[in-house]
Structure 1
Amino acid sequence: MDAHSRIKGGTANQGDRASWDNSVPVVVKALLDCGLDEVRVQVEVDLPHTNCAVDLVLCGQHPGTGADSYLAVELKQVRQATVDPLCPIAVDLGFGDGKNKLHPVRQIQRYCEYMMRYLPHLRQHENQLMGVALLHHARDAGVEALFDLPETDHGFLYTLDDLARFRRVLTSRFAPASGERAASALERARRDPLLKVTDVARQRSIVGGGLTLLDEQYVAVDRITRHLEKTTRFTGFDVGLFYDPEAAHSTAPLGGDVKRVYILRGGPGSGKSAVALELQRSLGLTGREAVLASGSHAYTETLREIMLSTARRGRAADKRHAAKQLYRYFNSFSDSPEDSIDVLICDEAHRMRRSSTHRWMPSALRDDARPQASELIKVAKVPIFLLDDHQSIRPDEVGTAEYLKELSEEMGCDVEVTDLEGTFRAGGSTQFQRWVQQLLGLDTSDPIAWRPDGKMTLAVADSPGQMEQFIRERHLEGATARITAGFCWPWSPPDGQRLVDDLHIGEWHRPWNVKPEHNVPHAPRSDLWATDRRGIDQVGCVYTAQTFEYDWNGVIIGPDLVFRDGKFRVNRRASRDPAFLDSIDDAVVTRCILNAYHVLLTRGVVGTVVYAVDPATQNELRKLIPGTIGMQHYDGAQPKLTAEGSQLPPAYRRRHR
């Protein structure tokens, strides 16, 4: 009691004392039974910057590593519990007050996430903090419904029937040694300042944005440039003593008779575009010709726009012409001579089409049977492809590492495949990338609950309106922020000088981004939607979002993707994408829609907020994602909508009778 008064600045009330008397001895006895009498037990541990506290934090030494080890324990004196049928994280714990509470597993998961975010000491070692909810008066049968919520290392559920298992957790977390060091370290630990959203946005890594290459990125670029140094005839301006103009402009392949094709494969945010741009820049500095091609209109036009913005007065036309030569489309090489380009860097190669034939192509050049990739390989002395196997989003996009490797080898080329395994998006969270693939069934594993890692913020919005409010506040604070949606609504041409509000979800309605063939006052062109600040006023589609990233990412999952029987399933009839003709096989449409959401969910650098139109899918997201967004009240400040979240979605704070 004296310690509570000293630390909390006030005496404990009768309810606190009764709770401690009923609950704390259960945990202490379990420690003593395990011979862990030197583990330190901290009671009512405050979460930084809030009036919330963890019931107990056990502090000791890990039995395997000797490092500081912590177990956060949320104690509940309940015997019965039911889950609200409208919301899987809202539960009636049987207190008789008619009020729903946050699921105890979700509560301790959130507490652990918060502790990791604001106490750097807990991030020094992997799995340093674990969390459990202990319902020490309840039998499994009385709280059976609570076990449906997925458990994580930050939130396991134990009852009176599970005390033996709880003791095994204690012995797996703590050695029979003094916990004084761990307890003192946690008490003295530096507390990060309150992490406002603007602070998070400023943490955007200069590694990815500044084109400083690391790890596999650096190795890939180094291998390619070394190959070029050994095999490329110099075609720059410094002719040098041994310059041979005839050999320099020869169309013969480089490095002997066998052409080498480089394939760099990586997930979202793995630095593929950083590699592409850095390769082009470094080769350009040495006078070598390096053309960057893409199948993305938005990406190519943005790069051209950036280059044009550097033009000196009176030189805009020359700069525009140079930009069109340096940044091109995959289908612009149909009539180019063989080996006419030194280095061709094909970014976004997953958007490679089966052929380059298009409606404006002259009949003399049409060849539906000739693969587009073969044109690109032939035209370049050194072809380089950068791709993600899970980002082909149209039926005629065939770019995968396996496809390109087989085609290159059929053409007699050597092939080198490199995997870029790092990530420079989602706060550097490789866990988030894997989680998205599991969620969508792009991995062999089933969907699992998101375990916050202190790097990426992931939350569920209660409505598209709440999502928009949150995203707009981040935008007003100076962060880059956008909302995207699945292609489940019509995409109308402008009504005169005004965009049409095609997206309708309940009373909420907003327009898509501008169509590529149109211009609308006060709205960015479609290819600039992701980078122009005015893009905040429209909802983007996958075709304008792909390749780009922004600090805060709002994603509306439309009715074309629903969660049924433990996994996401595609409903092709709900899609409004004109690319999905009736003649397209269901398996192809499923691949494209899953890949489209894979793209949309992985655009965020700092955080992602999701909302599903389908109610059952929305509830499954609530089960799998601990994070919410809600109004937070800080002393002396106006309430702000933040990603820390309310403890329950507002609609479910009280059970409806």
Structure 2
Amino acid sequence: MFEQAAPAHDGDTGFDPGTTPRPAGRVACVASGRAGELAARLEDPSFVARCAARYAVVGFGVPGEAEVRSWRNSWPPVLRALVRAGLSDVWVYLEYGTPGGGRRLDALVVGAAPGGVLGLVVVELKQWQTCRVLDAERVLRGDGVVTAHPVFQVAAYRSFFDHWRPESAPELDVRAVVVLHNATVEEAAVLRAGAGAVADIPVLSGADLAAPAKDLAGLLRCQDLSAPDPTDVRAFEEIRWEPSVRLLDHVGTVLEGHSAFALVGDQQDAFVRIRAAAARHLPGRAPAGSSGVEGRGGAGAVITVRGGPGSGKTALAVRLLGRLMLDHPTARPRFLTPSGTLRAHLLDAVRTHGAARELFPSIASVRSAARQAGALIIDEAQRVKRGGTDGLPRDLAEVLARVPLAVVFLDERQVIRPDEGTSVEEIRDAARRLGRTHHHLELTGSFRCAGSAAYTAWVDDLLYGAPRPWRGQDTYRLGLAADPFHLQRWVEQATAAGHSARITAGFCWPWTRNRPRGAATLPLDITIDTPAGPGTPARTWRAAWNAATALTHPDDGRPLAPHNQLWATHTGGHQQIGCIYTAQGLEYQHSGVIIGPDLTWTHGRWTAHPQESHDETLRHLPADQYLRYALNIYRVLLTRGTHTTRIHSTDPHTHHHLTQLLHPPTT
């Protein structure tokens, strides 16, 4: 459910084969060296263990057992093949992390190519054998897991080097190859036949790796490569990768033309004012006729934008990124968010261009982004982790200190965990201490919830103030569901009619993360007992949380449920239940909300019951501390629907309280 990606940071070009890993250079990887040297190092039983240690040092996180096992199984065949092909002296990086932090390549070969250019071969290594091609982007493995087509995957990696090389960098000749060292020729041919538009990327089998030495270099796309000089390797490692103007134009145009990011009202006013500030602080052309917040030339600026649910923060942030790419390409703009779900949707929006991923780095690489970017947009900034320190979170402090233009979007009432949270005041004070110009903008409109300021105000009064009756005074539709069966039928009917509809719930039931490989169903972790009613027996409603990984039919590969980060928008998501971590920052037309037993209306006030939570970050808090986060969580869930919200509380007294508010007695 939570994003686990830990992208690369600037770090290491390899390590001393003797003892302790040593950081050096500008490349993040677990090992590097001549192919023959690396093949020899693999004979040392401690080599892979040191690579695992290096994996953490350079910022990739902690490798799992399966990852380390794949190194032991996959590195020897490809390195032996390079040596046998007479390529012992080409340079190889193992687990190469792209400088933007968006990708890790299994192996990258660097050699001297004809004409004085550097030849690069991106190598994708797979241990599996059988698979069935579902389409040009997905395959169904023999163990029932759906994964990216490796040719599609490695083509996206290749595009990074094509679209991020600055003109001043050495010229590169970039190739790619997929190696299935356990597969037969026939099994590899299945993938090769389904490669579609990237048929220039070969798919090699174990038998191909056993080809005569005179043919092997060609199969590996290295036939014209020779040993690079140390100066060549150094020149490659010193490249400061930047997105090309062509890439920025493409992504900027896509984002500007995306209907989900249209701007109206005070969003448009804020957009104009921020562009004016960008014109003063960033290289590039100024927007014609613009006026707005005042700046101080090269001093740098920090702009905070605060707004409640549905005020259009994300739409504005994304449109701003697109415009900065078009107006100020040399500022290398980037978009960061602590929400893995929101980031997944943005990557999905630009997925047709594989090299765009680096423009949306993971929040884990915020410091690397701060060193590289001239303009940085941070959305959902209230969720940046504080890191156990007082004052501004370290990551935000790094951004404010380094980036010429930082635009920070936040809503203090959407802090949902105790290790999160920052405020406009904290950012303002930090900017002033750093001598940076600070400007603040408020988004007061409501563009979700049918534009109903009355509904969002009703939610805030319900949770934080004096609850008041809902009298249906505008176009937004609010109702109660007697039980979750009613919610389920309502969502299914709306989906069948072509509308987007989802159910979310408080995290009050267990969440089984691992399901058997190839399973076509999810565990029904959510169980709610409903009492007997007029004409209906007592029943138990069962449902599944949204899938941790995409759920696909094991026979024909039909999508059954999307990955949880795409649950709110992709086909099949309506059949699972979402939570705060997969709903925050997103919207859908019809929203069903289940208020669980962690929050009840008792003796005229909200009472928190942390023991009812299954969120390990919250359930051990004292009740008064948990209450703050519970109220914020349900505020988020109650404000996802653009047209309609229906609510069900599992607590009878709370449900009665809501009934009184939605259907007040007449006098």
Query: How high is the TM-score relative to the length of structure 1?
Result: 0.55
Match 2:463 to one of 440, 454, 463: 440
The residue aligned with 2:300 is: 259
Q: In the aligned structure 1, how far is the partner of 2:313 from the partner of 2:324?
A: 17
Q: Secondary structure at the match of 2:655?
A: helix
- Counterparts of 1:242-281 in structure 2 under 5 Å? 255-256=296-297, 258-281=299-322
* Aligned counterparts of 2:545 and 2:388: Cα–Cα separation in 1: 28
Structure 2: give runs of 5+ residues left out of the alignment.
Answer: 1-255, 287-294, 530-539, 554-559
Higher RCO structure, 1 or 2 (CA under 8 Å, sep 6+): 1
Structure 1 counterpart of 2:325, one-letter code: G
Q: Closer, same or farther in 2 for the Cα pair 1:622/1:207, shift >3 Å?
A: farther
How many residue pairs were aligned? 382
Q: Which has the larger radius of gyration?
A: 1
Rounded to whole Å, the distance in 2 between the matches of 1:493 and 1:227 is 45
Deviations 1:328-362 (A, max 9, x none): 23221234564x312111111121110399xxxxx
- Among 633, 647, 660, which residue is 1:596 paired with? 633
Cα offsets for 1:569-598 (capped at 9, x unmatched): 21111111111253x454442221111101
One-letter amino acid of the structure 2 residue matched with residue 351 of structure 1: R
> Hey, what does 1:233 align to over in structure 2?
283
Q: Give me the whole-angstrom Cα distance separating, in 2, the residues matched to 1:414 and 1:608.
A: 41
CA distance in 1, matches of 2:642, 2:392: 40
8 Å CA contact 2:336, 2:366 repeated in 1: no
Report matched runs for 1:155-170 at 5 Å: none
Task: Summarize the Cα distance change of 1:341–1:235 in structure 2 as closer, same or farther, 3 Å threshold.
Answer: farther
Q: Where do residues 152-551 of structure 1 align in structure 2 (5 Å cutoff)?
A: 209-234=259-284, 255-256=296-297, 258-288=299-329, 289-308=332-351, 311=352, 319-323=353-357, 325-336=358-369, 338=371, 340-355=372-387, 371-441=394-464, 445-496=465-516, 497=519, 498-506=521-529, 507-515=540-548, 521=553, 522-551=560-589
Contact 1:527 1:544 in 2 (8 A): yes
Distance in 2 (alpha carbons) for counterparts of 1:374 and 1:560? 35
SS of 2:415's partner is coil
1:552 corresponds to which residue?
590
Counterpart amino acid of 2:584?
A: Q
The runs of 5 or more residues in structure 1 that have no matched partner are: 1-205, 237-253, 312-318, 358-366, 628-646, 648-657
8 A Cα contact 1:501 1:509, kept in partner: yes
In 1: Cα distance, 2:482 partner to 2:369 partner: 53
Distance in 2 (CA, whole Å) between partners of 1:372 and 1:590 is 27
Taking only the aligned residue pairs, the percentage that are identical comes to 32
How far did residue 377 of structure 1 move? 1.9
Residue matched to 1:143? none
Give, in angstroms, the shift of residue 568 of structure 1: 1.9
Closer/same/farther in 2, CA of residues 228 and 493 from structure 1, 3 Å limit: closer
Maintained 8 Å contact 1:440/1:567: no
User: Matched residues in 1 for 2:428 and 2:625: separation?
Assistant: 21
Contact 2:335–2:376 at 8 Å: present in 1 too? yes
The CA distance in 1 between the partners of 2:281 and 2:308, in whole Å, is 30
Classify the secondary structure of the residue corresponding to 1:399.
Answer: coil
Residues in 2 aligned to 1:508 and 1:457: alpha-carbon distance in whole angstroms: 25
Q: 1:135-193, CA deviations, whole angstroms, 9 ceiling, x for partnerless residues?
A: xxxxxxxxxxxxxxxxxxxxxxxxxxxxxxxxxxxxxxxxxxxxxxxxxxxxxxxxxxx
Give the match's secondary structure for 2:414: coil
Equivalent-residue separation in structure 1 for 2:612 and 2:284 (angstroms): 54
Return the letter of the residue paired with 1:567: R
For residues 413-456 of structure 1, give each alpha carbon's deviation from its aligned partner in whole angstroms, at most 9, with x where no partner exists: 22211110001111110011111011111xxx311111212321
Aligned AA (2:442): D
Cα 1:587–1:330 change in 2 (3 A) is farther
Q: Answer whether contact 1:207 1:424 (CA < 8 A) is retained.
A: no
Write the distance in 1 (CA, Å) between the matches of 2:563 and 2:403.
32
- Given residue 329 of structure 1, which amino acid in structure 2 is its aligned partner? S
Kindly tell me: are residues 588 and 413 of structure 1, through their superposed partners in 2, closer, same or farther at Cα, counting changes over 3 Å?
Answer: farther
Q: Is the contact made by 1:270 and 1:423 (CA closer than 8 Å) also made in structure 2?
A: yes
Seen in structure 2, the aligned counterparts of structure 1 residues 391 and 452 have a Cα distance that, compared at 3 Å, is: same
Question: Alpha-carbon deviation of 1:401?
Answer: 2.1
Counterpart AA for 1:306: A
Measure, in 2, the Cα distance between the counterparts of 1:210 and 1:470.
25
Question: Which letter does structure 2 place at the counterpart of 1:544?
Answer: T
Amino acid at match of 1:405: R
Aligned counterparts of 1:409 and 1:592: Cα–Cα separation in 2: 30
The change in CA–CA distance for 1:439 and 1:207 in structure 2 (over 3 A counts) is farther
Q: Match for 1:578: what amino acid?
A: E
| Structure 1 position 482, deviation (Å) | 0.2
Query: CA distance change for structure 1 residues 511 and 335 in 2, over 3 Å: closer, same or farther?
Result: same
Distance (Å, rounded) in 2 between the aligned partners of 1:282 and 1:422: 22
Deviations 1:281-303 (A, max 9, x none): 12222243321110111110111
Instruction: Between 390-399 and 519-528, report the one with greater CA deviation.
Output: 519-528
Secondary structure of 2:261's aligned partner? coil
Aligned mates of 1:298, 1:622 — CA distance in 2: 33
Q: What are the superposed Cα offsets for residues 195-220 of structure 1, whole Å, 9 maximum, x if unpaired?
A: xxxxxxxxxxx999553323321221
Query: What are the superposed Cα offsets for residues 448-488 of structure 1, whole Å, 9 maximum, x if unpaired?
Result: 11121232100001110011101110111000000000000
RMSD: 2.9
What per-residue deviation string (whole Å, max 9, x for no partner) do you get for residues 365-398 of structure 1? xx99962211222342100011112111111111
2:493 maps to a residue whose letter is E
Instruction: For 2:579 and 2:564, locate their aligned partners in 1 and report how far apart those are by CA, in whole Å.
Output: 10
Q: After superposition, what is the alpha-carbon deviation per residue over 1:41-89, rounded to whole angstroms, capped at 9, x for unaligned?
A: xxxxxxxxxxxxxxxxxxxxxxxxxxxxxxxxxxxxxxxxxxxxxxxxx
**Mapped partners of 1:412, 1:589: distance in 2:** 37
Which position in structure 2 is the counterpart of 1:576? 614
Task: Tell me if structure 2 keeps the 8 A contact 1:447–1:567.
Answer: no
* Matched AA of 1:453: Q
Q: Which residue number corresponds to residue 563 of structure 1?
A: 601
- Evaluate the alpha carbon distance shift between residue 329 and residue 376 of structure 1 in structure 2; reply closer, same or farther with a 3 A threshold: farther
